[in-house]
Structure 1
Amino acid sequence: MPPADSQPPGQVWAHTGQPFTPRDYGVLVLGAGRMGTACALFLRQLAPPLGVLLVEEGGLPNEEGATLLSPGIWTALDAPAERRAEAQWVRTQLGTAFGDISLQTRALIDLHTMPGIGRVPTRDLGLDAALVTMDSLPWASVHAQAATYRPGALALNAAQAAIRAGANLMLNTRAQLCGDGTVMLERLTVTNTHRIVVHETHRIRAQTIVVALGANGPHAVEHDLGVHTAHARAYRQFPRLNLPSTDRSPLLRAHGLTLRPVSGGYTLVPAIHHRDPAGYEPVGGKLTGVPTGLRRETLEDLVAAMDDLPALATDALETGRSLSDVPGAWFALPDGRPDGLPMHSEVTPNTHLLLGGPKADALGLSVAYDLAARIAGVEERPWDGSATLP
């Protein structure tokens, strides 16, 4: 197999001023978040003869959506025991295959109320008393090999690498599945009154279609193809805690809440408790009677943790005055479960749904590779010790 970098680079259609001539492709990948871009790159590496077209509705790979706001926390603890080797392979790829994604090894400290195997006294860890009430959470498990990175940078770098390896990319293009092996592509433009309109349409045929549209993927499959899925979605917000952090600050977990050091402060990563019903629109809550921009479920989690994480009860917590003040995104829930693992499935012949979800930080890349390998007809998986990328 010739190396992927020996292939001529692909073409990018960024705006409607660039003429586009439709042709058939081996694989259409819909969605340029980290799952779609990684799958496109792996396809070019595993099966260079297959023509690949990556389609993104936004103006840049991963311009918006869950990839940009994903926590970017790798830890093998977020993978089942039987998939730890797979998660370790993902960790290796994060460190070697995707350029600068701000990967940093950090300890992850799980805080507990009771002693247990391998737990150490919290007071021995030198944590800031403004962050943790030591008497309430006196025990901790320390996982030294966790890491943080930027999923948005991963998606952008993977898209660029896929293009260098011969994949084509269409930006500002909305896709509709037609159910007959074709996809209707609507090239979008913005008018001088800031309305998004369809400039032109093209019908593209492909041997294989990969739907990697994140939380919108199951809806697209159900609406366009009439195929019922068990998948769901949930809206997740990421408040900020303005306490100082550094490159050496550890990750903290307590009460299902993760404090991720970033940009000199902390991003709060709340738990996802349940799927949000179809048609649900997030609404804010009230803190001591004052309206806030945090959805009610997130607000309840923060209030419940305030005694043990006292900084949450101070003005260091940014709650926002409306939902638009607090970053948030819709996340796919594979199999409809808040703890659902990344997955792919063939929903109709040669049409695959690829989902990351809340645990994509640990296993997303391996699932994208697994789908690319299946499409390419490659049986071995590198985390089994039987193969490596070319």
Structure 2
Amino acid sequence: MTSSGRVWAHVGQPFQEQEFDVVVVGAGRMGAALSLYLRVTAPHLSVLMVEEGGLPNEEGATILAPGVWTTLGLPTEHTQAARWTREQLQHHLGDVQFQERPLLELAASPLPDGQASADLAAEFPALNTLVDLNALPHARVDRQAATYRPGSVALNAAQQAIKLGANLLLNTRARLTPSGLTLERLTVTNTHQIVTHEVRSVTARSVVVAAGAAGPHLTEHGLGVHTRHGRAYQQYPRLNLPSTPDTPVIRVQGLTLRPQAEAFTLIPAIHHRDPHGYAPAGGHLTGVPTGLRREVLEDLVNLMDAVPALSSEQLQVGRSLSDLPGAWVALPHGQPGAPSPWPPQWEELRPGHFLLLGGPLADTLGLAVANDLAQTLARS
């Protein structure tokens, strides 16, 4: 019988281990899923997860990720991976509050395989209060779409991985070296400063960086390997109109209204990567500063006629950036002209060093990509 792995949650627990087969940097949903699939596929490999925060990290993208599974608009070459990910979410990762919930895409112009949006008004009464169907006469529906909690995916996958023998080191910052990693175990002073308490070195046959948007920079800084991946700061404002378990997800010109906590979380479109060193700042609405970054604010203003609620006091725009939840999201580099931007992917940067990225499509494809890397590591 496989014994459970160890968890080092704070610096009071001595950490002396120095060698592992695989070290996974980052215990968000991608890193946690990879660790789980490694223990299932290759139980002979020793695995260490290293996480800078807690489980799940409240400052990472996993905790804020939309949690919307849909194949609407997904190229056919990704369908199998999407179906596999759905099977995992429904049946193999514990309670992640997976709920089937139709997704409706509305537009001013005709959509492939579309229909008249007015024909859906009786079936989905929420449309009558949220949008102007005259401005958005065209629609298409994914009746197999679903919502879930990505933070629960990370937590449950990590817990299952530990039960199967994976180890977890929390509150630890990892720095890559050509032969392994340097681990800085963090603690908090009585003045609430985060400081390095001790430094440990470990070696590993394989190192996988699954640190989200910070991953490319971490590998470039530690290994000197340049990648073409980007990142963007994405905010998730709230629309305080009532939603119920039967309310569908609605997508309008790139903006997604995700029913959550009896209201709506808004998921704005990502138009481009943010340059290195970019510091997000709020925009201005009729001269008044808000916490919404300028690009998001412009999108919402342009949609106010089609979605009148966006011009009401029910939209939370905040007075500063800190008033609105947001996180850096990885933008995996794809092939030029690819029909689906930023799909999750992994790549081997140099022998024994891998980069694993989720990004905007991680909700639908992420687990399958993590499993694919686990299979590759098991064969190597």
- Tell whether the structures are fold-level matches, with TM greater than 0.5: yes
2:309–2:315 Cα contact (<8 Å) kept:
yes
2:352 paired residue number: 350
- Distance in 1 (CA, whole Å) between partners of 2:145 and 2:331 is 23
The equivalent residue for 2:18 is 23
Query: What displacement does 1:348 show?
Result: 1.2
Output aligned runs, 1:221-300, within 5 Å.
Answer: 221-300=219-298
Determine whether 1:319 maps to 2:317.
yes
Range with greater deviation from structure 2 (359-368 or 128-137): 128-137
Q: Distance in 2 between matches of 1:73 and 1:255?
A: 16
SS of residue in 2 equivalent to 1:329: strand
Q: Where do 1:152-231 residues align within 5 Å?
A: 152-180=151-179, 182-231=180-229
Q: Which residue of 2 aligns with 1:36?
A: 31
Q: Percent identity?
A: 58
In 2, Cα distance between equivalents of 1:255 and 1:16: 48
Tell me whether 12-21 or 69-78 shows the greater mean CA deviation: 69-78
User: d(CA) in 2 for partners of 1:161 and 1:328?
Assistant: 28
1:336 Cα deviation (Å)?
Answer: 7.2
The equivalent position to 1:366 in structure 2, one of 368, 373, 376, is: 368
Q: Secondary structure at the match of 1:318?
A: coil
For residues 140-166 of structure 1, what are the alpha-carbon distances to aligned partners after superposition, in whole Å with 9 as ceiling and x for unaligned?
A: 111100000000010000000000000
What is residue 69 of structure 2 aligned with on the other side? 74
For 1:289 and 1:242, locate their aligned partners in 2 and report how far apart those are by CA, in whole Å: 23
Displacement of 1:114? 3.3
**Alignment correspondent of 2:377:** 375
Q: Counterparts of 1:79-98 in structure 2 under 5 Å?
A: 79-98=74-93
SS of structure 2 residue aligned to 1:130: helix
Contact 1:61 1:159 in 2 (8 A): no
Contact residue 104 and residue 249 of structure 2 kept, 8 A: yes
Q: What is the Cα deviation at residue 179 of structure 1?
A: 1.3
Q: Return the alpha-carbon distance in structure 2 between the equivalents of residues 78 and 7 of structure 1.
A: 42
Instruction: Give the Å deviation of 1:183.
Output: 0.3
Paired with 1:140 and 1:335, the residues of 2 have a C-alpha distance of 30
Instruction: Describe the SS at the equivalent of 1:129.
Output: helix
In 1, distance between residues paired with 2:59 and 2:112?
Answer: 42
Letter in 2 for 1:331: V
| Maintained 8 Å contact 2:239/2:316 | yes
- After TM superposition, the runs of 4+ consecutive aligned structure 1 residues lying more than 3 A away are 114-118
| CA apart distance, 1:62 | 3.0
| Bigger mean CA deviation after superposition, 206-215 or 329-338 | 329-338
2:193 alignment partner AA: R
> 2:326 is matched with which residue?
328
Aligned residue identity for 2:261: S
CA distance in 2, matches of 1:198, 1:240: 36
Change (3 A) 1:345 1:78: farther
Amino acid aligned to 1:304: N
Tell whether the 8 Å contact from 1:78 to 1:362 is kept in structure 2 after alignment: no
Deviates more, 1:17-26 or 1:184-193: 17-26
Which sections of structure 2, spanning at least 5 residues, go unmatched?
none
Aligned AA for 1:202? R
C-alpha distance in 1 between matches for 2:111 and 2:40 = 45
Displacement of 1:64 after TM fit? 2.4
Distance in structure 1 (CA, Å) of the matches to 2:363 and 2:135:
30
Q: CA separation in 1, counterparts of 2:253 and 2:98?
A: 26
Write the distance in 2 (CA, Å) between the matches of 1:78 and 1:209. Answer: 34
Q: Does 1:121 align with 2:116?
A: yes
Q: Residues 10 and 168 of structure 1 are in contact (CA less than 8 Å); yes or no, is this contact kept in structure 2?
A: yes
2:27–2:210 CA contact under 8 A, matched in 1: yes
Three-state SS of the structure 2 residue aligned to 1:361 is helix
Give the whole-Å Cα distance in 2 for the aligned partners of 1:365 and 1:193.
39
Offset of residue 17 of structure 1:
0.6
Distance 2:138 2:365 in 1: 28
Give the Cα separation in 1 of the matches to 2:70 and 2:112: 19
Query: Partner of 2:214: helix, strand, or coil?
Result: helix
Matched, 1:103 2:87: no
Given that residues 209 and 351 in structure 1 are in contact (C-alpha distance below 8 angstroms), is that contact kept between their aligned partners in structure 2? Answer: yes
**Counterpart for residue 137 of structure 2:** 138
Q: What is residue 3 of structure 1 aligned with on the other side?
A: none
Unaligned runs of 5+ in 1: 1-5, 379-390
What SS does the corresponding residue of 2:233 show, helix, strand or coil? strand
Tell me: CA distance 1:322–1:313, structure 2 relative to 1, closer, same or farther (3 Å).
same
Aligned partners of 1:233 and 1:336 also within 8 Å = no
Q: CA shift at 1:297, angstroms?
A: 0.4
CA deviation map 1:285-316 (0-9, x unaligned): 01121110000000001001100000000001
Distance 1:15 1:68 in 2: 21
CA distance in 2, matches of 1:198, 1:9: 28
TM-align CA RMSD: 1.4
Residue 61 (structure 1) shift: 3.0
Q: Normalised by the size of structure 1, how large is the TM-score?
A: 0.93
Q: Which amino acid is 2:273 matched to?
A: R
Aligned residues: 372
Aligned partners of 2:211, 2:293: CA distance in 1, in Å? Answer: 24
- Determine the C-alpha separation between the residues in 1 that align with 2:350 and 2:113: 47
Distance 1:348 1:117 in 2: 42
TM-score by length of 2: 0.95
Q: Assess if the C-alpha contact under 8 Å between 2:216 and 2:227 holds in 1.
A: yes
- Hey, what does 1:386 align to over in structure 2? none
Q: Cα offset for 1:186?
A: 0.6
